[in-house]
Amino acid sequence: MNGFLNQLPIGLSIGAVLLLAALGLTFTFGQMGVINMAHGEFIMVGAYTTYMLQSWAGHNAVIAALPVAFVVAGLFGVILERTLIRRFYGRPLDTLLLTWGVSLILQQLVRDLIDNRGVQVVAPDWLIGGADLGGIRIPYNRVYIFCLAAVCLVGIWFYMSRTPAGRRMRAVMQNRELAACSAVRTDRVDQITFFIGSGLAGVAGVALTLVGTVSPTLGTKYIVDAFLVVVVGGLGQLRGALIAAFALGLLNSYVEFWSNASLAKVIVFVAIVAFLQARPQGMFVLRSRALT
Amino acid sequence: MFGKSWRRLAPLAVLPALLLAACGGSGDSSSDGGSSSDTIKVGLLHSLSGTMAISEVTVRDSELLAIEQINAKGGVLGKKLVPVVEDGASDWPTFAEKAQKLISQDKVATVFGGWTSASRKAMLPVFERNKSLLWYPVQYEGLEQSPYIFYTGATTNQQIVPALDYLKEQGKKKIFLVGSDYVFPRTANKIIKAYAGANGMDVLGEEYLPLGSTEVSTIVNKIQQAKPDFVFNTLNGDSNVAFFKQLKSAGIGPDQIPTMSVSIAEEEVKAIGAEYLSGQYVAWNYYQTTDTPANTEFVKAFKAKYGSDKVTSDPMEAGYNAVNLWAAAVAKAGTTEVEAVKKAAGGISLDLPEGKVTIDGPTQHVYKTARIGLIGADGQIKSIWDSGSPIKPDPYLKGAEYPWAKGLSS
């Protein structure tokens, strides 16, 4: 029974990791329709930022790196958007190939400039170990990741629903042409969206340093899962991403508990395919009056 | 019109040239076996890029050191060794392709190379087809014996079986198996289960993680629920990092449930961090701390060449051994010709860093002393138990002392 209950925090923490990795994508993919394969590499950029800051901030790098990784990864995103993606709007297949190429280049850059093998980020002492809650083990590093995901989620929700800039972002998301007619500078909004989306990937990277190695291929491990969360949740839907991330996390953790890691992955994929057969548009649909 | 079709045909025009080159290559290869008037070419084929680079680069370094030392003493048969280094790129077909290139284009006398079993399996047919020699320097899952490969790493009865013997001696009865999902861990676990069945041990669980996966918390939870006496760990690569971090945050230290790992050596301890590993057990045939005169010299020479912060590990030592054993076999045969070297190699015995190493002629494996190590807080591994004398290699576990292994080799 304890084993069963123990899987609950595990599932929630997998969900939190998925949510962090996918939050940024709900914007760039959801709002702008850009299939950004380099999103995973922005996660990696965040993780390496943490690693670099370690020499300065020591064991507290996982805290100090949060704002830095957000800005650094965000800038990477803006540069990518300004120099390349902007020229490929409305050409999803080309963008896919383009950003995949960019992701390969970024990975190789890290190999050449930093280290071709994985590096470690040392967690602060208060994040090592865990607490026992009535027989259920709660590891501190997972609590940290969970809180981080919650803070990001609330922050994004607040930005989108309570600030003028967020309203403009939603306007562009719902109907680009009409927003442009109403004097919203859509290309400016696109830039900000890309900055925030990529920055969130950077924050996810900081969180992932607590789980495993920081390696050049860190991002590629999560990119597929992140896309799945966005597609299952529905494009551009915060609520959908939240529910999808935790549903996938819990499903994965319980199926793995009853079978094994490889089989769990297969079963989760089959479940997603079945779900998308029934609901190709995802859990939630953006309601808009666009004629598309 | 003409221009278009010409462009389409252009690649075909290259074909005859390629064919000629290929024929020329295979025609010459048997003539001199890589030796010219004053040099002998040898191939080094390891992954210098990709996921395996972390481990394989270190083996190449120690092989280069061995070549340098041999040359300093006048070379082999009075000729200097010239290393030809190729990159297998952590990609198994590339290993086969580069092996062919070393044999037919560079005409090397022998090749030292490989790490993963997958790369060895990819190279095996190339060496058998060309009747050329490969020296493979890493512990592996056994159940193989190619006439054109010399295995200088441990086979199962020199590493995994002694590790199980040790745990049995310590009274550990309940084991939990964790491994990466590919050929080595699955074969190793098959052997472990056969051993456990015959020796009254219980296998409480057997879990595999996709290579490179870092989501290990469910497996750790299963270990926690099963409460085994120890965990036998055949994970490879990055998963180890996640696994030991998660064990620590789940509060499972070596005092509660110790782990016995067969793929973690000094280099990996350095990468994962000694604070996560101290107190855990490993099984190998050599540690940097192994106390032999040859090892003192080896460690000193390695640090002098590559830097004082470098560590030496079992596969590096096995690669270093391979070069020295081959050189001794060539000296004894008086030629680099493959069949003569193979015949001369049996029975050759050298004092190497791990102690006395003897080539077993029939299996083309080497006698090795098994050592169980305990990882210290400084990242160094201390031997706490050894088999006393070198164990005769038995890749198919056919010996009378392994009655439980019947039926494994089929």
pLDDT tens readout for residues B380-408: 999 999 999 999 999 999 888 888 888 77
- The upper half-sphere exposure of residue A73, i.e. CA atoms within 13 Å in the direction of its Cβ, equals 34
Are B238 and A118 inside 8 Å of each other by CB?
Answer: yes
User: Which phi-psi region, left, alpha or beta, contains residue B153 (left: φ > 0; alpha: ψ -120 to 50)?
Assistant: beta
**Residue B234 scores a pLDDT above 90:** yes
Q: Are A33 and A92 in contact (CB under 8 A)?
A: yes
Q: Which of A14, A120, A213 sits opposite B215 (nearest CB)?
A: A14
Q: Which of B224, B180, B184, B183 lies closest to B205, judged by CA?
A: B224
ipTM of the complex: 0.78
Which chain B residues are Cβ-neighbours of A221 within 8 angstroms? 212-214
> DSSP readout, B169-190?
HTT--EEEEEEESSHHHHHHHH
Q: How many CB atoms lie within 10 A of CB A186?
A: 16
Quick one: which H or E segment has residue B385? Answer: strand B381-386
Position of tokens 């060449």?
B305
B19 and B119 housed in the same domain? yes
DSSP state of A119: B
Cα–Cα distance between B212 and A292 in angstroms, integer?
42
**Residue B341 scores a pLDDT above 60:** yes
B9 and B141 housed in the same domain? yes
> Would B410 be classed as within a structural domain?
no
Cα–Cα distance between B109 and B134 in angstroms, integer?
10
Supply φ then ψ for residue B391, to 5 degrees.
-90, 135
The pairing of strands B80-87 and A136-139 is unpaired
B101 and B175 housed in the same domain? no
Q: A121 versus B293: which is more confidently predicted?
A: B293
Mean per-residue pLDDT over chain B, rounded: 88
pTM over 0.90: no
Are B224 and A137 inside 8 Å of each other by CB?
Answer: yes
Among all residues of chain B, which has the CA nearest to that of A107?
B50
B137 and B28 housed in the same domain? yes
Which chain B residues are Cβ-neighbours of A136 within 8 angstroms? none
Q: Which of B353, B382, B348, B386 lies closest to B369, judged by CA?
A: B386
Grade residue B32 by pLDDT with cuts at 50, 70 and 90: very low
B327 and B271 housed in the same domain? no
User: Which residue range(s) make up the domain with B114?
Assistant: 3-154+299-367
pLDDT given for residue A238 in this prediction: 85
> Would B294 be classed as within a structural domain?
no
Q: How many CB atoms lie within 10 A of CB B388?
A: 8
Cα–Cα distance between B340 and B381 in angstroms, integer?
39
DSSP state of A57: H
B384 and B264 housed in the same domain? yes
Which chain A residues are Cβ-neighbours of B242 within 8 angstroms? 211-213
Residue type, B192: I
B209 and B253 housed in the same domain? yes
Which chain A residues are Cβ-neighbours of B269 within 8 angstroms? none
Are B250 and A262 inside 8 Å of each other by CB?
Answer: no
Measured at the alpha carbon of residue B337, what is the angle toward residues B331 and B342, in degrees to the nearest 5?
A: 70
**Domains of chain A, each with CATH number or no CATH:** 2-278 (1.10.3470)
B266 and B340 housed in the same domain? no
The pairing of strands B230-234 and B355-360 is unpaired
Position of tokens 């949060």?
A66
Grade residue B316 by pLDDT with cuts at 50, 70 and 90: very high
Q: In Å, how far is A119's CA from the nearest CA of chain B? A: 7
> Largest Cα–Cα distance in chain A?
59
Q: What distance lies between CA A172 and its chain's CA centroid?
A: 21
**Residue B373 scores a pLDDT above 80:** yes
| pLDDT digits 0-9 by tens, A88-115 | 877 888 889 999 999 999 998 998 888 7
Are B217 and A142 inside 8 Å of each other by CB?
Answer: yes
B234 and B264 housed in the same domain? yes
> Would B324 be classed as within a structural domain?
yes
Q: Are B141 and B117 in contact (CB under 8 A)?
A: yes
Position of tokens 């809180």?
A147
Q: What distance lies between CA A281 and its chain's CA centroid?
A: 20
Q: How many CB atoms lie within 10 A of CB B301?
A: 17
pLDDT given for residue A210 in this prediction: 87
Position of tokens 């967690």?
A123
CA separation, residue B276 to residues A277, B65, B310, B377 (Å): 45, 31, 20, 9
Q: Is residue B172 exposed (0-12), middle (13-18) or buried (19+ Cβ within 10 Å)? A: middle
Q: How many CB atoms lie within 10 A of CB A92?
A: 12
Mean pLDDT of each 10-residue bin along chain A, 292 residues long: 81 90 84 85 94 86 92 95 87 89 92 79 83 81 91 92 90 85 89 92 92 84 88 85 93 90 89 92 72 49
Are B212 and A217 inside 8 Å of each other by CB?
Answer: yes
**Residue B45 scores a pLDDT above 60:** yes
Across residues B4-31, what is the average pLDDT? Answer: 43
Instruction: Please state the domain count of chain B.
Output: 2
Q: Which of A2, A6, A212 sits opposite B241 (nearest CB)?
A: A212
Grade residue B360 by pLDDT with cuts at 50, 70 and 90: very high
The pairing of strands B371-375 and B281-284 is antiparallel
Position of tokens 């079986």?
B161
Query: What CATH number did the domain enclosing B72 receive?
Result: 3.40.50.2300
> Would B398 be classed as within a structural domain?
yes
Which of B52, B211, B227, B245 has the highest number of chain A CBs within 10 A, making it the mutation to test binding with A? B245
Q: Could you give the residue ranges of the DSSP H alpha helices within chain A?
A: 2-32, 39-57, 61-83, 92-113, 140-162, 164-174, 176-181, 186-208, 218-233, 238-258, 261-278
Cα–Cα distance between B329 and B346 in angstroms, integer?
8
Across residues B114-124, what is the average pLDDT? Answer: 92
Cα–Cα distance between A231 and A34 in angstroms, integer?
13
B147 and B161 housed in the same domain? no
Q: Which of B330, B325, B386 lies closest to B352, judged by CA?
A: B325
Which of 135-164 (A) contact B at CB < 8 A? 137, 139-142
B125 and B170 housed in the same domain? no
The verdict on A104 touching B (C-beta cutoff 8 Å) is no
The pairing of strands B149-151 and B134-136 is parallel
> Would B118 be classed as within a structural domain?
yes
B209 and B168 housed in the same domain? yes
Q: Tokens standing for B287?
A: 């540690």
> Would B308 be classed as within a structural domain?
yes
